[in-house]
A = this chain, B = another copy of it.
């Protein structure tokens, strides 16, 4: 086996896939395109990702996981759960906004990909609401949030209620004047709704 193939990890393939997508748009990123970019045979790529669909789903998941990874640090901190909830929702808005604003073409590409793969977005929302649920549970324990029989359900309500500030469908509105004030108003409404 050639040295190139030996070091061909899934992560290296996904990096190359993102690069192919960045350069050539959502129509590209087939197994063959990626193998060519890496200078390996397509058989080597197939050993990691058995279909074009699997490759595209994996690169989409990786992109979405970057956001959940950033946010998980906020969940893990100690300190006032209400402040943590505000930080977390603010960080989610900031992360999505950065993704949409810093590299609009790659963002548009990933919008096409998330539309293709049914499961990646669903799992991403499950990850995010699970993080939110942990903050809400901490708030219920400390008494700063009202008791809930179902923290996951409450978390989903908070996630839905703040959708305008993280759902990519609204990306075009994120640079409009007044969006920060709108976000602050929804955040206040939601936090008041969680209090006992």
The chain A residues found within 8 Å of chain B, CB to CB, are 146, 153-154, 156-158, 160-164, 169-170, 181-182, 185-186, 188-195
Q: Which of B156, B181, B182, B193 contacts A193 (CB 8 A)?
A: B193
Query: Looking at chain A's contact residues, is the secondary structure mostly helix, strand, loop, or mixed?
Result: helix
CA distance A154 to B191 in the complex (A): 14
In the bound complex, residues from chain B placing their C-beta under 8 Å from that of A193 are 188-193
B169 near A189 (CB under 8 angstroms)? no
In the bound complex, residues from chain B placing their C-beta under 8 Å from that of A190 are 161, 189, 193
A157 near B169 (CB under 8 angstroms)? no
Give 10 closest A-B pairs by Cβ, nearest first. A193-B193, A157-B185, A161-B161, A189-B193, A192-B193, A169-B169, A157-B189, A157-B186, A160-B164, A160-B186
User: Which of A161, A164, A182 has the most C-beta atoms of chain B within 10 angstroms of its own C-beta?
Assistant: A161
Q: Which of B146, B158, B185 contacts A154 (CB 8 A)?
A: B185
Additional A-B contact list (8), CB under 8 Å, known A153-B181, A157-B186, A158-B189: A154-B185, A157-B182, A157-B185, A160-B182, A160-B185, A169-B169, A169-B170, A189-B193
User: Which of A146, A188, A192 has the most C-beta atoms of chain B within 10 angstroms of its own C-beta?
Assistant: A192
CA distance A162 to B189 in the complex (A): 12
In the bound complex, residues from chain B placing their C-beta under 8 Å from that of A157 are 182, 185-186, 188-189
Q: Which of B156, B164, B185 contacts A153 (CB 8 A)?
A: B185
CA distance A191 to B190 in the complex (A): 10
CA distance A193 to B187 in the complex (A): 10
CA distance A162 to B185 in the complex (A): 13
